Homo-oligomer: A and B are copies of this chain.
Amino acid sequence: MILIISDGIGDVPVPELYNKTPLEYGDYPSLDRLSREGINGIMDPLKPGFPAGSDTAHIALLGEDPRKVYRGRGYLEALGTGLEPGKKDIAFRVNFATVDRGIVTDRRAKRATFGIKELVEQINENINIGIPFILKEATGTRAALILKGNDMSSEVSDGDPHVDGKSPLKFRPLSIGMHQQKTAKILNDFVAKTHEFLKDNPINKERAKKGLLPANYLLIRGAGTRPDVQTFQSRYGVKPACIAATALIRGVAKCFGFDLLPVKGMTGEYNTDEVAKADTTLKALKNYDFIFTHFKPTDTASHDGNPAKKIEMISKLDNLVSIILECVKPEETVIALTGDHSTPCCVKDHTGEPVPLVIWGGRVRTDDVSHFDERSCSKGGIGRIEARHLVNILMNQASKLKKYGA
């Protein structure tokens, strides 16, 4: 089984594209082949109308109910960067941002990665906040932070204002308690000290010379602890692997017990090497039963509000699928292709519209859909389902489920 998730792929009619969505507008022969030879539908990541985060959506996609098991994004992000936070540690998401005279001018310092790794190292070596911490770089200007200690709490607010043009926020306890207060105090101290350390840092001077925005402030958010999920192998009896660049997705997969496969040239950015990802997916079929291949840049283009770029990224996805299709047989391999949520280019954020879904291979009841897009798939044989049911549908195609009852 191969599950391909194209992040944020769902969209809505775009006026510049003659009221077509990026999926409807572009020409994607391999995606269309999946639709033509498979069974199609639309899928709500959580519930109809409800916008999902990437974390909660992927927890649902892997078969668990996020309302029961989700404990914040930070832990997943940290796990995905390669950190191994302990059971009592609190983990956070971090962006290197640009702050100018107290105002966040770019929450992601234009995603320019130059020098970020060095800045992370320097912060780990030089900043003292009285308790052990680990900062680790992720993709782009993202990073993860772990606060260690037995008296920390994830019940603290974000320091990230979540939009440009505002001041960073002070951390506050979200409930009454000594641990919450202490954690908020430590975070405020950490952000102040790192800002002081970063603003005149030689690396930021080099960034300036290159015309890049300074990475002079740590926006911290998404306090989290370990979600309580069952491993995929214990639940379904299959050996699973994940191919993903994005730290968060790697973290979710790791929580479910997926092996994380390395791919050279996989970046999670526009320049990611989709050929290498397809090759790794195909190779993994030899050693694994279930391969989850994640494709991030469709979501990035959507957050950037760029339909033309989204079309270009869907073409890369189409190329990835074409390579896989060349080498697998429908009798042996079941492929599902869908998204984790809709991110319309006009909204630049996750929304509650359902995503298109196609399942190819196995013994699927094919339908009349011949184009993989939001509206065509809504006429398909799957109808409208919730994401938490998808893994069961795939496992059924692969005859991996025991009947309930007798």
Contacts and interface: CB of A to CB of B under 8 A. Distances in A.
A51 B12 contact: no
Contact of A13 (B52, B344, B363, B406): B363
A385 B54 contact: no
A42 interface: yes
Contacts of A352: 392-393, 396, 401
Interface in A67-116: 67, 70, 73, 93
Given A42-B383, A347-B399, A375-B381, A55 B405 contact: yes
A406 B53 contact: yes
A344 B367 contact: no
Contact of A402 (B19, B49, B51, B56): B51
Main secondary structure of the interface of A (DSSP, over half): loop
Nearest to A384: B383
A396 B351 contact: yes
A366 interface: yes
Contacts of A347: 363, 399
Contacts of A205: none
A7 interface: no
Interface in A354-372: 363-367
Contacts of A389: 47-49
**Number of identical monomers bound together in the oligomeric complex:** 2
A405 B401 CA distance: 29
A155 interface: no
A405 B56 contact: yes
A64 to B, nearest CB: 13
Interface residues of A, number: 62
A403 interface: yes
Nearest to A385: B48
Contact of A49 (B13, B47, B396): B396
Given A347-B399, A405-B55, A406-B93, A48 B392 contact: yes
Given A363-B13, A399-B347, A52 B353 contact: no
Contact of A51 (B19, B57, B374, B404): B404
Given A13-B363, A21-B365, 7 more contacts: A51-B404, A52-B405, A56-B404, A351-B399, A352-B392, A383-B384, A384-B385
8 contacts: A47-B389, A49-B389, A52-B403, A53-B404, A351-B396, A375-B381, A378-B380, A378-B381
